Chains A and B, each alone.
Chain A
Amino acid sequence: MYDSGKILAGLIIFIVIATLPFTLNLGKAVAKPSPSIDTPAINQMAKKQCVESKDYMKTTHMQMLNNWRDEVVREGNRLYVAADGKEYNMSLQNTCMNCHSNKSKFCDECHNYVAVKPYCWDCHIAPKEGV
């Protein structure tokens, strides 16, 4: 090989960069997030059921909250009719956080895991925990 010093150096740089996802994680334990639903309000419920199904909430809660915000702030409509016909008050602080009063063990659990920083709390006041 001609100029083998330079070419091999370049190849080593390439391999180091390309394998970064593997090398950066060597020996690091990966804890799966487990959002907790152990709150007083949820424990009192006979049937532990969120506004919509668990799968729907898991994937689409952010878009739902965004729609709620638009409905409330722009249309003045606070009534949400869920897929099962139940009615809810569209409110992050009074409806969502009423049950999920454990932001750090529920919201943050997954958001931190996937490095998402929702801007809910730019305006809303995060509930005081342990009260």
Chain B
Amino acid sequence: MGIAFSFAAVIALIGLAFIGVKGLNLHFLFGAIVPYAAFLAFIGGFVYKVVKWGRSPVPFHIPTTGGQGYSFPWIKQNKLDSPPTTIWVIGRMLLEVLLFRSLFRNTKSELKHGKLVYGSEKLLWLFGLIFHWSFLIVLVRHFRFFMVSVPLPIKIMEALDSFFQVGVPLVYLTDLTLILGVTYLFIRRVIMPQIRFISIAADYFPLLLIFAIGTTGILMRYFIRVDIVGVKQVAMGLVSFQPVAPGSIGVIFYIHLFLVSALFAYFPFSKLMHLGGVFMSPTRNLANNSRMVRHINPWNYPVHVHTYQEYEDDFREKMKQAGLPVEKE
């Protein structure tokens, strides 16, 4: 159900762009207005989400630790997995964001001969890493369309990415690894019963959308050629606020652009917001210092406390008459 719906949604997006550009000649709508609107939705939605999260209180100090915290001097401390200070939190976050360290500890549970067994599961970590890094490199590589003079680091990145000089235009390795990664993430959802059980349309749709973006990009670069100079004119027009939308570029470019716009607009309102969310997770971004620093629940309001001393003051005479011991005579 979720798969069919997501698949239909992606096909509908492709169809919309195809009919809009090929049939109705709405080049300016799909080449300028939609991308601008999508970018505004992306920035606006991202800020809205982060601010909304920032306004929610964290009642408890809840870092999840993966190692020995601060204790006696003769007990070896694992500062990275149980960070005592902000510096170590930053180190832990860097490893988490760049290398998905906690996912490396991923386990799977299986029934084998009627027994529940647990084992290590590194594939998700490996393909997740491949997918995210490929996507980042592909994104950064696209800067050659957005800049008049392309900076050296991006040129070096391109040269390394097309290192094997296969075909013309040279095949980018990250084009292949991006598709490989997203395919694994999709297949995993479909064939593993437990994962499939908890998967809904919002899980399948981003995967299929990214797959469609990668596929249209690859088609455009290697198979259905488009006028690259025209593509760069569109990109430069967009970033210099003088949008142009020449009709001479193939429709596949407008489909690609529309799918990317859809991804950008969808981003802040979906699970993809883990881009911002990973930095906002109290289980990750808090130092494990609850024994050194008191965490005040921001929900707390001044509670009137009736102490024993006050109680005794109220009932001292009655307590004495009843023969109860009192602290103050």
Residues in A lying within 8 Å of B, measured CB to CB: 1-4, 7, 10-11, 14-15, 18-19, 21-22, 24-25, 28, 30, 32-33, 55, 58-60, 62-63, 65-66, 110, 113-117, 119
- Return chain A residues, CB-CB under 8 Å to B155: 115, 117
- Return chain B residues, CB-CB under 8 Å to A32: 229, 233
Using known A-B contacts A25-B146, A28-B240, determine if residue A113 contacts B168 with beta carbons closer than 8 Å. no
In the complex, which residue of chain A has the Cβ closest to the Cβ of B147?
Answer: A24
Main secondary structure, interface of A, reads: helix
Q: Give the docked Cα–Cα distance between A5 and B275 (Å).
A: 19
> Is there a chain A Cβ closer than 8 Å to B78's Cβ?
no
> Is there a chain A Cβ closer than 8 Å to B57's Cβ?
yes
Closest Cβ–Cβ distance, residue B251 to chain A (whole Å): 13
Question: Interface 1/0s, chain B 199-243, versus A by CB < 8 A?
Answer: 000000000000000000000000001111101110011011110
Q: How many A-B residue pairs have CB under 8 A?
A: 92
Q: Are B232 and A63 in contact (CB under 8 A)?
A: no
Known: A62-B169, A117-B155. 13 other contacts (CB 8 A): A10-B50, A11-B47, A14-B50, A18-B42, A21-B147, A28-B240, A30-B236, A30-B237, A59-B228, A66-B167, A110-B228, A114-B232, A115-B144
Q: Are B225 and A21 in contact (CB under 8 A)?
A: no
8 contacts between A and B (CB under 8 A): A1-B54, A3-B54, A10-B279, A22-B239, A32-B233, A58-B227, A60-B225, A65-B168
Q: Are B50 and A11 in contact (CB under 8 A)?
A: yes
Using known A-B contacts A2-B55, A18-B43, A63-B168, determine if residue A113 contacts B276 with beta carbons closer than 8 Å. no
Most buried by A among B155, B159, B239, B276: B239
- Return chain A residues, CB-CB under 8 Å to B276: 14
- Return chain A residues, CB-CB under 8 Å to B226: 59
Q: Give the docked Cα–Cα distance between A28 and B231 (Å).
A: 18
> Is there a chain A Cβ closer than 8 Å to B192's Cβ?
no
In the complex, which residue of chain B has the Cβ closest to the Cβ of A30?
Answer: B236
- Return chain B residues, CB-CB under 8 Å to A2: 54-58, 298
Q: Give the docked Cα–Cα distance between A18 and B46 (Å).
A: 11
Q: Are A21 and B232 in contact (CB under 8 A)?
A: no
Q: Give the docked Cα–Cα distance between A16 and B248 (Å).
A: 33
Question: Interface 1/0s, chain B 126-157, versus A by CB < 8 A?
Answer: 00000000000000000111111010001100
- Return chain A residues, CB-CB under 8 Å to B146: 21, 24-25
